[in-house]
Structures are given as structure tokens and as C-alpha cells.
Structure 1
């Protein structure tokens, strides 16, 4: 299979790529393979979903009809720096979260590990909140999630917290899936944080509490964006109340992100 740079020379075939999430040029790594075999089943590529500096993600259908999602973490070097260890570490770390949360409704089931840096989980039929956000821009009829969607998402976040996991990445609407059943699902535990087991790790346990509160803040923020009509005045006020940590992060992270976007745009990787 050719790499992303080769594929960027021609327009992506209609229906094969989500062009909004596949950069025209890759700075590192390859797109997911055309096929792979896991536990005796052969899976064939249906659609590339996402490609970034750390990983590629794609949807597949097995020869038995089952749909799955493959997330392949890159192991290639960058600027002569060996990063194979990082890809393997991130893969094993995320697999650990899926295994730990295997009995939680709203977290896709882990299917298995592929090679040294690939993980496969079940495919959730539906779309994500980013699709909803792009309806107007793409000229599609605007959709609404169910009235109880964000109550369920809030409960899902609380369930993760009870299992000692802070999701951390709820600010990204493309991480929140809207299943065909109308329920919320969470994918991508790449930067999630687990409560330290050792009681003497006071800083780590304090950070866990802070990140849990940020999860709930971002649920309220998403609700404000997509179902503001359902919010009470109290919820609406709280959706604007950023913590000191988040305000501090935004103060320093936003300038960096603007520079990063500018550089990636100049390099053709955005």
C-alpha cells in the first residue's frame, strides 16, 4: 500500500476518505492497510477515517460481515529520532483502558491487538458530534441528538470516573459518537488518565479530580453547543465557568496551537 504522500497527488475517491480528517500530506506514518487478518478473520478496508502524527484510523468489514475500527499507531522515526517505542507504548496503554472499561456501556468492545502497534475495537454504527456540527457547512439538513443524550453522556463520564478513569478529551466532538440507537459512545482513550493507585501520590490523585471536573465541564459545553434549548439557567452559567487550570492551559496552549496550525498549513499537512 502506498503512503499518504503518494495518495495526496490525486483527489481521494468519493466515499473512500473523510477528506476533512485526512490531511493532504502526512509528516509521519502510513495510512492503514488495505486488509488485515485477526483471529482467523480477514478484514477489508471500507474507509479511512483519520490520520495524524501519532496514528491512522480506518473502518473495516470482516469476511463474516462484522465491522470494526483499526487504530494503527505509527512506529516510524521522525527527524532521525526513533519513535517505535512510543507507538508501542501508546497502543498498549490505550488497549489497557479498553480492557479496564470492557463492561461499561458506551465504550466499544475491544476486538484485539494487531501486530506490535495496532488495536481493533468494534464499530459503532452512527456518526459523531462533529458530523452534526458540520451539517450546515456541508449543506445537509441539521440534526438534533435525543433529548436525553447529554444526560446519558454525563452519566457515562461519571461511570468512567467511578472506574478511576478521567477521559480528558471530551472537548473534541469527534470523540463523542451518536449511535444509531441514539446513545452516546466514547472512543479514543489516547490521553485519558487513570487515578494513581498509591495513596501517597497526592499530586496525581489531585490531578485526577481536576480532570474529572473538566470532563463534566466539557459535557456541559457540548450540550450548550448542540442542545442549548434543554439547558437550565444554572447549567448554562456553569458551562461558561472554566477552571483555573483550563484557563491557564488556554492562555499558553492557544498561541502554540495557532503556530502549529500555521506551520502544518505551510507544510501542506493540514
Structure 2
């Protein structure tokens, strides 16, 4: 059982700190509206907790940050007890605490079994029963495949709780369902049904209007003025810079494959860790773009030959305990993964300084 601080409303004044101390380990994300830290409660070091700190944002953007945080809090309360979603632990005057969701983002996991998609549909049906819509399921980063092969969802800052299931709720629930079908079409088209294809072909009128008008303005403001990408987690920089880094590394002599993973840079945001399968590691000294470049004799791979992004992510984050659990039962995979881990370059990101927590 995870010890949990008291639930408190962020609107109340003179709030006391949580009853149980939060021990931060690393900063996962920083943007203009909050800072997201991963750690644990004192006395429960093996149960990861996420701390979203709204007061870490600039003072002029905090009102928007609190709007987003309150949306997330309301929805997490509504879906309490559901499998495959974060669980809200507590709320205080600085932000909120919620459970960590273990899993691989959809665009990296690329689930090729119908069980994952059935479970994802189960999530949306349960949302509908509870009057909740996610509203941000077009991004594959918000979908996870858990270690047991099931579906999970994260990033509820844009989600909505509907007390009345009127036309707006039905419209937004329909869009959630349609975005799941888009993910299925992208990663497992063989599982698409004729009904699913018909739904994808019928985008709602408000959605068409949004894409033609509001979405363009939203992108202009967030990505242009604020220099902020709305992707959850730390994969945004890889999406933006990754193709160029991979192309440069693959052009070097002796390089057979490249895999990238994000990792937090304390006080500096998100770094890119490049794992380079190469017979000539000395050639890597001539590259730039990635923050860390590690030559490896062999990348850990799945049965279909694709690199194990989940294993490489743990190595990039220096999470050796989790790595051991992930490769347990597969001696060949464990040997390859541990060989890569033995040469890892990141040893300093697991903890953030007390001054930074401040």
C-alpha cells in the first residue's frame, strides 16, 4: 500500500504540506505551465509517483497552468479505480501527485496483437460510462502499452468531465473513439474492420472546423510564440530532431543501426541519447546533435528485428533495477542489454538537487 498525502483542493488557502514526504528522483518534463517530476513517497521507494508542480512555472503563465491542472484533477477523481489510467494521490497548493504509469509509448511499442486494441476500446467505453473524454488521443505518446501488453492512457490536462451526457459529450467521445481507430490504422491496419474504416472517413463538422481554423492558431501560439510542443513526456525533441541525427549517424562508416531515447537533463530540459550499433566506434567522435552517443556491438532487439526501445529507454535513464526485471527469463536478451548497460554514459540524471526542488 502506497502512503498518500491528504487530498486537498488547490483553491483553498493556507494549505499544509503533504503528510508524507515526496522524494524526487528526476525531472521528466518542463514547460511554461508546470514541471513534472518522478520520485516516490518516503517509506515506499519502489512505488513510483509523479509530481506535477504548477508553481514551478513562470508567474505569468501559472493561471493557465492551474486551469490545466484542475481539469486533470477533476478527471482523475472521476476515473479513480480504473485500470490503465493514473491514480490521483493528492492535491496541494503547488500542484498534484499521481501514480506513475509504466509502459512504452504507442509509436515505439507498435502493438501487433489485437488484445491491446480490445483493451484500448475497453478504456474508452469505461470513460463514456463515467462521463469523461480525453480530448487528446491523436498523439500516440498519450497511449502506452504496459509490460503485460495492455493499454494505458496518460496526460489528462485537456480531458473533460461531463456531468450531462449531451450532444457535446457525445461528439467529444466520438472523436476519442475515432482517434483510437487512427492509431490502429497506423500501427495495426490488418485489424481494421469495415465499420472502423467508415468511422475514420466521417470526421465530425466541429472537428473539420477546428482543423481548418483553431488548430492552426493553436500551433502558431504554442509552437511559435511559446516554443512549446504539446506532446506528453519527453519524446517531442526526438520527433523534431531525431530524423536528422539518425541520418548523420547512419552515414558514418561501420554504422549498421541507430536507436534514440530521451533522458532528462537537470535544469536544462530533455536530452537525446543515441545508441549506435557500429564496428568503428572512433568515427562517432565526428558527430553532433545528440547529447550522448554510445557505440554498442549489438542493440537489444525484438523477434522481428526492431530495437527494443523500452530497454534502451531504461538504460538511457540509468534505471538498472527496472532493466533487470524487463529482461528476466531471456538469457540472450539479458546478455545483450547488460552489455549495453555496462557502457552507459548517463549516471547523473536519477537524482535532482535539493536546491532544484526548493
Normalising to structure 2: TM-score of the pair? 0.52
* Unaligned runs of at least 5 residues, structure 1: 1-36, 133-142, 198-203
Aligned partner (choices 58, 65, 81) of residue 76 of structure 1: 58
Where do 5+ consecutive residues of structure 2 fail to align? 1-16, 229-236, 241-358
Alpha-carbon distance change, 42 to 116 in structure 1, aligned in 2, over 3 angstroms: closer
Q: 2:320 — aligned with what? A: none
Report the CA distance shift for 1:263/1:209 in structure 2 as closer, same or farther (over 3 A): same
2:180, 2:150 → 1: CA distance? Answer: 14
Q: 2:35 aligns with which of 56, 63, 74?
A: 56
Q: Does 2:126 align with 1:149?
A: no
Q: Alignment partner of 2:213: what SS? A: helix
More displaced 10-residue stretch of structure 1: 61-70 or 255-264 = 255-264
**Alignment partner of 1:96: what SS?**
helix
Out of 171, 193, 213, the position equivalent to 1:252 is 213
Task: Report runs of 4+ in structure 1 exceeding 6 Å deviation.
Answer: none
Aligned to 2:98: 121
Whether the aligned pair in 2 keeps the contact of 1:221 and 1:239 (CA below 8 Å) is yes
Q: Following TM superposition, by how much is the alpha carbon of 1:254 offset from its aligned partner in structure 2, in angstroms?
A: 4.0
Q: What SS does the aligned partner of 1:108 have?
A: coil
2:54 and 2:62 in contact (8 A); partners too:
no
TM-score (norm 1): 0.68
* SS of 1:90 mapped into structure 2: helix
| Residue-by-residue CA offset, 1:91-117 (whole Å, 9 max, x unaligned) | 33322221221122222221222x413
Q: Which residue of 2 aligns with 1:27?
A: none
The total of aligned residue pairs comes to: 210
Larger Rg: 2
- Preserved contact between residue 40 and residue 49 of structure 2 (Cα < 8 Å): yes
CA distance in 2, matches of 1:38, 1:181: 32
Q: Residue 242 of structure 1 is aligned with which of 160, 185, 203?
A: 203
Q: Output the aligned Cα RMSD.
A: 2.7
Q: Corresponding residue for 1:131?
A: 108
Q: Which residue does the alignment assign to 2:168?
A: 207
CA distance in 1 between counterparts of 2:97 and 2:108 reads: 22
